[in-house]
Structure 1
Amino acid sequence: MDTTTTKQRYHITTFGCQMNKADSERMAGIIENMGFEWSEDPNNADLIVYNTCTIRDSAEQKVYSYLGKQAKRKHREPHLTLVIAGCLAQQEGEALLRRVPELDLVMGPQHANRLEDLLQQVYNGNQVVATESAHIAEDITTPRRDSTVTAWVNVIYGCNERCTYCVVPNVRGIEQSRTPEAIRAEIERLAKMGYKEITLLGQNIDAYGRDLPGTTPEGRHQHTLTDLLYFIHDVPGIERLRFATSHPRYFTERLIKACAELPKVCEHFHIPFQSGDNEILKLMSRGYTHQKYRRIIDTIRRYVPDATISGDAIAAFPGETEEQFNNTLKLMTDIVFDHTNTAAYSPRPGTPAALWDNQLSEEVKSDRLQQLNHLVSIQAEMRNQRYLHRVEEVLVEDQNPKTPTQVMGRTRGNRLTFFRGDINELKGKLVQVKITEARAFSLTGESVEVRQVLAV
């Protein structure tokens, strides 16, 4: 189908994690290469992609609701092309076509780079399902990135862990690391385009490189996340590096030391703990104890005393007793996190824990989640108070949508910060900001000095 003459429009709706956001940017790049232009309103789009998540049931239900509306529209406008991508597509596969026959393409996350070929098959009159296991080809498409200041860079796809509650390994496949050279080349391209901050992404980023060949003379694996940080650190024009998501089982002192030594690596560590109870951690197949988790945090605070530390917690895992839940609250109280992402346990298809007969009631889930969230906001506010009257370096990303006279950006510790300024002048700049107000989830300040960052 030649879209160049008609300038057809497309829309992508993204659910879920940072990996999904990165995949959506790559798919948007492919679609724009095909001659489509972006439409803010899905109802004006000729091609709609839902990039889905299956971590929680609520995200799935939202997808089905959106799909239902567009499926009805397709009866009125048969030219509309409907694509469902991502983890729900991988999990459900052909069953989605039975549930929503109006779909044209069902595509798992490993096939994001093949989108053009798959759409071509659709335009040739086929209904396509692409969920078979695939080697992820090195991506040469330029993503359509949502930001011009910060960018995601995938370093490892998939996950080999088998946490009993998690559907990710089933839907994103086995671990596949990109080569350090390919990653550095992408970051160099981004630097030339004026990007200032890179977040390295992996479902289990600390596992980076263990599927790549090579060991050092001492017998250590040659390609680790730590080695990668040293390898890419000196790319000119890049001011900041971040990485996510970590797994406590693989988080090493060597990695923490590198973060302390390398000036571009931000002082922000996101390490999910999920539970503070050893018995629950064992049932989850997490492979560590709460004592090991605490030692990791102690080591971080020894090397990087002012580090921002965030985590993930699951409330009401099957069989969790009141005492076991209190152990999670205790872990959080002892560590005092800057932020914690919380969720009530949600049974996912194809995971062991979904089949257990000791599921907790919705009331217990709701109550425990509420208790977690209450503690999260108290801790976030408490930790943010330490920034009051301090001068923090903020990378300006955008205008404050609520207050156009203000710009917004993030500190090195990943705290969202607002201050008065002109976005046209400050976008992409590093600004020293004196913090005048600290709330639980954001800061406000006034600029002290702007550091010019030259584009390469």
Structure 2
Amino acid sequence: MKFHVKSYGCSANHAESEIIAGKLCKEGQLVNEEDAELVVLNICTVKGDKTALTEIRKVKQKYPNKKIAITGCVTDSIVAPIKQIDPEVQLINTHHIDKIDELLRVKTDVLTKAKPVKLMLPRVRRNPVVGIVPISSGCLDACGFCSTRLVKGTLFSYPPEIIVNEVRKCVDDGCKQIWITGQDTCCYGFDRKTNLAVLLKKIVEGVPGDYKIRVGMGNPRHIPKYLHELIEVMKHPNIFKFLHIPVQAGNNEVLKAMRRGHTVETFKELVNAFRNELPEMTFSTDLIVGYPTETEEQFQDTLQLVKDFKPDSVNIARFAPRPGTSAATMEQQVHGNIAKERSRKLAKVFKENALEQNKNWIGWEGEVSVEDEAKDGMNCRNYAYKLIIVRENVKAGQEMLVKIIEAHDNWLIGERIPF
């Protein structure tokens, strides 16, 4: 059967889409959406059902006669709306993608919970130089705005030896970047009496080669338990000097309402600890504006945090209620227009700060790895995971020396220089 896989959401979802394609390629052929007999939509509902339903509706309207299968973050709340769009659609949730080839033949919905280790499985990589390696599923938190735990369940850390083997396979396959991913990488191993720092050390010591690890998103509240271990292992040349730690708000009362489990002060201490040891460490964070009960004064605290913290990248989201979460039924919901304006102000402050930060990189010379194509050249990454666009055609995975000649808020421009 000719099939096509469409993926939405986080890098963990993209890793699962690669597995879906790998499993189905045993008996079928991966083709473009137009030519496919089967379209598999690997959806994300962590930020709500609306976007996922819109995408499903688009595909159904465009291809009314194609078979459609829905997998990924399939919550209880979205099942009935999907069936209204297409009663014949087959639903297979995130817990069963390792058996998707078998389940599609059965032609029944499979929405039960399970805890498979989604490693050492066939894959078709979206980018041959990037190996996406999930290290766990689920999380230990119950944040008021997030449905991750409802979808993925509680933390299940994969065995470290299997993770190391998966990384080794990626490197043997020619991957130059290894994206360590999960719903919360920072609590990895707590259910196995270990932690993320220990895992990273096992990987870099057990897998020689020319590659770099990008550590994916993790809750900052877990890092203090092994902070110094993590700082030390992050110094290894095979690890990008980069962390994605969502703070979500710059006010402690809002963080408490969100049930985040950390304070603004804890977050600042973590960032300062890393920057003291690794001055060019880069950070990405997430922020929510318009959370129920958020006042203008509390929002100003978030603005100030961005000015003080100076993150390298920020994902800004306006609060949207998600079925089954505590925030969905909270009183004092913030009006959408207010949230929209706060989002605009926050984005403006971030862009101004980020541009000034990036200007500090002008004149830097060093080695970069080519990641993929950009609009006007190639996307590259340096040791701090800074996005550098080089305006020439170079093969993905290649390494070269560049000099930074221009700065923008979210990227840098580099020119190639001789070794």
Query: TM-score, normalization: structure 2?
Result: 0.94
1:154 aligned to 128, 134, 145, which one?
A: 134
Structure 1 SS opposite 2:75? helix
Match of 1:50 in 2: 41
Query: How far apart are the structure 1 equivalents of 2:139 and 2:413?
Result: 38
Q: Deviations over 1:321-375 (max 9, x none)?
A: 1111111111111111111111011100000110112111111110111111111
Query: How far apart are the structure 1 equivalents of 2:38 and 2:115?
Result: 26
Relative distance call for 1:207 and 1:391 in structure 2 (3 A) is: same
Relative distance call for 1:392 and 1:375 in structure 2 (3 A) is: farther
Query: How far apart are the structure 1 equivalents of 2:124 and 2:16?
Result: 10
Match of 1:268 in 2: 242
Q: Cα distance, 1:297 vs. partner?
A: 0.8
Alignment of 1:200-219 (within 5 A): 200-212=180-192
> Are the aligned partners of 1:22 and 1:153 in contact in 2 as well (CA < 8 Å)?
yes
Q: Cα distance, 1:227 vs. partner?
A: 0.6
Q: Deviations over 1:375-419 (max 9, x none)?
A: 12112211111110111321112333x33xx33211222222122
Give yes or no for the alignment of 1:112 onto 2:97: yes
Q: Deviations over 1:103-146 (max 9, x none)?
A: 43112211211211210102xxxxx2222111214544221111
Match of 2:404 in 1: 435
> Are the aligned partners of 1:198 and 1:238 in contact in 2 as well (CA < 8 Å)?
no
Structure 2 SS opposite 1:337? coil
What percentage of aligned pairs have identical amino acids?
29
Match of 2:172 in 1: 192
5+ long unaligned stretches in structure 2? none
5+ long unaligned stretches in structure 1? 1-7, 123-127, 213-220, 451-456
Structure 2 SS opposite 1:310? strand
Q: Cα distance, 1:272 vs. partner?
A: 0.5
Match of 1:31 in 2: 24
Match of 2:197 in 1: 226
Which structure: larger Rg? 1
2:85 aligned to 89, 100, 107, which one?
A: 100
Query: How far apart are the structure 1 equivalents of 2:58 and 2:197?
Result: 46
Query: How far apart are the structure 2 equivalents of 1:291 and 1:140?
Result: 40
Query: How far apart are the structure 1 equivalents of 2:179 and 2:409?
Result: 23
Aligned residues: 416
Give yes or no for the alignment of 1:395 onto 2:386: no
Provide the alpha-carbon RMSD of the alignment: 1.8
Relative distance call for 1:194 and 1:100 in structure 2 (3 A) is: same
Q: Cα distance, 1:102 vs. partner?
A: 3.7
Alignment of 1:67-86 (within 5 A): 67-72=56-61, 75=64, 77=65, 80-86=66-72
Query: How far apart are the structure 1 equivalents of 2:63 and 2:239?
Result: 48
Give yes or no for the alignment of 1:364 onto 2:335: no
Q: Cα distance, 1:12 vs. partner?
A: 1.8
1:303 aligned to 260, 274, 277, which one?
A: 277
Q: Deviations over 1:37-75 (max 9, x none)?
A: 221xx2321111111112334xx4343233224434665
Give yes or no for the alignment of 1:446 onto 2:415: yes
